[in-house]
Amino acid sequence: MSEDKKTELGQLGEFGLIQHLTDKITLKHDTTIKGVGDDAAVLSYKNKETVVTTDLLLEGIHFDLTYTPLKHLGYKAVAVNVSDVYAMNAAPKHITVSLGISSKMSVEALDELYDGIYAACDYYNVDLVGGDTTTSLTGLTISVTAIGEGEKDKLTYRNGAKPHDLICVSGDLGGAYMGLQLLEREKRVFQGNPEAQPDLSGYDYILSRQLKPEARKEIPALLNTIGVVPTSMIDISDGLSSEIMHICKQSNTGCRLYENKIPVDPTTAMLADEMGINPTVTALNGGEDYELLFTISQSDYEKFKDVGDVNIYIIGHITEETKGTYLVTNADQEVELQAQGWNPIKKDD
Amino acid sequence: MSEDKKTELGQLGEFGLIQHLTDKITLKHDTTIKGVGDDAAVLSYKNKETVVTTDLLLEGIHFDLTYTPLKHLGYKAVAVNVSDVYAMNAAPKHITVSLGISSKMSVEALDELYDGIYAACDYYNVDLVGGDTTTSLTGLTISVTAIGEGEKDKLTYRNGAKPHDLICVSGDLGGAYMGLQLLEREKRVFQGNPEAQPDLSGYDYILSRQLKPEARKEIPALLNTIGVVPTSMIDISDGLSSEIMHICKQSNTGCRLYENKIPVDPTTAMLADEMGINPTVTALNGGEDYELLFTISQSDYEKFKDVGDVNIYIIGHITEETKGTYLVTNADQEVELQAQGWNPIKKDD
């Protein structure tokens, strides 16, 4: 695509634009009876439970187009949504995408956004089956709904954790938050001196954690392979602290997390130190890592011994409710966990 | 609720706010395995097809809070969404509601919005099972997804109309558009003279068509009772002209609509005349009436003879594709239909 070409949305008109954007859809699932193009999509989930989740992403709140490539944004909008389906130990199959777009946006810019959406549809093996396209007077608005299927006796909720269960996380934490801090820092430098080049070298990992997070689709597959159904599961969108507190509250339990067990990537820790932020705080309160946090019975522990390339970290255990929800620090002190809210990505489901 | 009380959203915090808003939910369906409060909702649609549709409503584009009561807005957001499910000849069962809200909005204002949402959930017999709540830097953003169930051999698409089929509509058209014109006129009067009282007397019907439209849930029930499966169906959100053209395009047919058969309420016609608008144009291009437009085989015509209180209007017939899509005017002239797009409510599914 040429950077120079800018086709105004008005040139295509509404129906022309929708046709342009949806022409590239290839449907992958025979469960998709009817995709885009009617009043509603028709899906076939016989003999499985239907899982539904939705996210709303608003410009200026959830993303900043000054440093977020549109293709990455489209990808991320899908990834964060299917992440909620994996957190149910289910498989996403279909998504709808609604967009509120400024008339100033070009067709080519929208194509970039959709390139990211379609790339995510391929990676997560979901069909785009519907949506709503409208003009916006203000910024870009993206609403994604993911629909998937799960087996009744394998679905994992937030309310099944039991005392003595082990608390597991599927990867390192805090990276997405430090990626955001880095981007915001370089934006401020740029605003002070537009000649300045952003200094992002050596930070590829945390930048990708922020700009192109992946939902952990391998985890439900792994759990199925080794025959484990977690007693509870949630994805980490708001930060470890909030998420484990959701599990404890709904399961009527307490917990102990161990600071020295929480996985933090060296790049995350290095930049956090440089910025005067405690690396553990980035993991606890940072959010947007989209790793899966789950609890397992101790009797299932052995099954995780040989899981190949997949890293599963055991970071603590569930306790009786009366014991409260605490972090045990490296200095062996107990610090009560705090819930965060109104973080960049906030969700109620 | 006292008009004076204004509780700031920040006083509740994110999780407190979500709890406040969702505490009133009562689940009606045993197909709702899990509602609000986990990563995703879990639904059970055994032996039926799953139908999914979504709408995005943006302040300043789809609604104007200067004359739209929040309770009506909440109701309408649900009604226009379930309308798409009825247009598939299916039954809505579940909705998710995502909101982007300005921090300036009070808890009491949000309660009004939710009162409307819950009233619509009751009327349309759907469970609110999830959503996403986030701050918005700009106006109010509402994204609703409806999920429902239909029987495979009764689902109606846009592509099944056949030459000689009769074209039916479930109620009068153009009222919602004239209601909007009236509200906009009175808003301009008010802006010119803030002492002026709006002159809305005698226009209750068209105001309710605009502010509190109802989805035609009786129609799929009626069709089921009399044993008719329409050959195609769509709901009228963009105006009769666009909608019949969607059916004709997808069915590879033409059509003839008869101006003297198109139902227009006297109030609609009177105000249209007063404003110098052709009443038929309000029906063809106005939109937002949310009546159902459907086609039936002539052999099913007799079954509509005794349908009690429900008015079904036969407004034309389907033709071969080569005959084109035309309106036959009262003066017996054929005028080619024009598709509208980028209307207040625009949809691609």
Q: pLDDT tens digits for B161-171?
A: 999 999 999 99
pLDDT, tens only, A238-280 = 999 999 999 999 999 999 999 999 999 999 999 999 999 999 9
ipTM of predicted assembly, 2 dp: 0.90
Q: Please state whether beta strands A325-328 and A253-258 pair in parallel, antiparallel, or not at all (unpaired).
A: parallel
Question: 């401020």: which residue's tokens?
Answer: A188
Q: Chain B contacts of A92, Cβ < 8 Å?
A: none
Do residue A96 and residue B349 have CB atoms under 8 angstroms apart? yes
Question: A88: how many CB neighbours lie within 10 A of its CB?
Answer: 29
Do residue B54 and residue A131 have CB atoms under 8 angstroms apart? yes
Q: Which of A9-23, A139-153, B63-77, B133-147 has the lowest mean pLDDT?
A: A9-23
**Where would I find the beta strands (DSSP E) of A183-286?**
232-235, 253-258
Q: Chain B contacts of A234, Cβ < 8 Å?
A: 39
Q: Chain A contacts of B128, Cβ < 8 Å?
A: none
Q: In chain B, whose CA is at the least distance from the CA of A43?
A: B50
Q: In chain A, whose CA is at the least distance from the CA of B21?
A: A348
CA–CA min distance B48, chain A (Å): 7
What's the confidence (pLDDT) of residue A76? 96
Q: Report the candidate in B243, B200, B174, B210 with the shortest Cα–Cα distance to residue B76.
A: B210
Do residue A138 and residue B143 have CB atoms under 8 angstroms apart? no
> Rounded to two decimals, what is the model's pTM?
0.92
CA–CA min distance B161, chain A (Å): 14
Cα separation, B124 vs B118, whole angstroms = 10
Q: Best mutation site among B50, B235, B251, B288 for testing chain A: the one with the most A CBs within 10 Å?
A: B50
Do residue A96 and residue B61 have CB atoms under 8 angstroms apart? no
What's the confidence (pLDDT) of residue A124? 97
What's the confidence (pLDDT) of residue B4? 63
pLDDT, tens only, B184-204 = 999 998 888 888 887 788 899
Which member of B58, B131, B146 has the closest CB to residue A100? B58
What's the confidence (pLDDT) of residue A311? 87
Q: Report the candidate in B88, B241, B229, B251 with the shortest Cα–Cα distance to residue B162.
A: B251
pLDDT, tens only, B250-305 = 999 999 999 999 999 999 999 999 999 999 999 999 999 999 999 999 999 999 98
Do residue A42 and residue B34 have CB atoms under 8 angstroms apart? no
Do residue A147 and residue B147 have CB atoms under 8 angstroms apart? yes
Which member of B15, B138, B145 has the closest CB to residue A96? B145
Cα separation, B323 vs B319, whole angstroms = 6
How are strands ordered across the β-sheet holding A49-58? Answer: A127-135, A91-101, A141-150, A49-58, B41-43, B32-34
Sequence spans of domains, chain B: 9-150, 166-336
Per DSSP, A165 falls in state P
Q: Report the candidate in A173, A186, A193 with the shortest Cα–Cα distance to residue A288.
A: A173
Q: In chain A, whose CA is at the least distance from the CA of B130?
A: A349
The CATH classification of domain A166-336, taken from the options 3.40.50.1980, 3.40.1120.10, 3.90.650.10, 3.40.50.2300: 3.90.650.10
Q: Chain A contacts of B45, Cβ < 8 Å?
A: 45, 50
Q: Chain A contacts of B135, Cβ < 8 Å?
A: 61, 342
CA–CA min distance A203, chain B (Å): 29
Mean pLDDT, chain B, integer? 91
Whether A1 has a pLDDT exceeding 70, the answer reads no
Q: What tokens does A120 get? A: 């995510």
Question: A38: how many CB neighbours lie within 10 A of its CB?
Answer: 27
Q: Chain B contacts of A145, Cβ < 8 Å?
A: 52, 54, 96, 145
Cα separation, A148 vs A81, whole angstroms = 11
- Asked if the A13-150 domain carries CATH number 3.40.50.300, the reply is no
pLDDT, tens only, B214-255 = 999 999 999 999 999 999 999 999 999 999 999 999 999 999
The CATH classification of domain B9-150, taken from the options 3.30.1330.10, 3.60.15.10, 3.40.50.2300, 3.40.720.10: 3.30.1330.10
Do residue A52 and residue B43 have CB atoms under 8 angstroms apart? yes
pLDDT, tens only, A303-312 = 998 887 888 9
How many residue contacts between A and B have a Cβ separation below 8 Å? 256
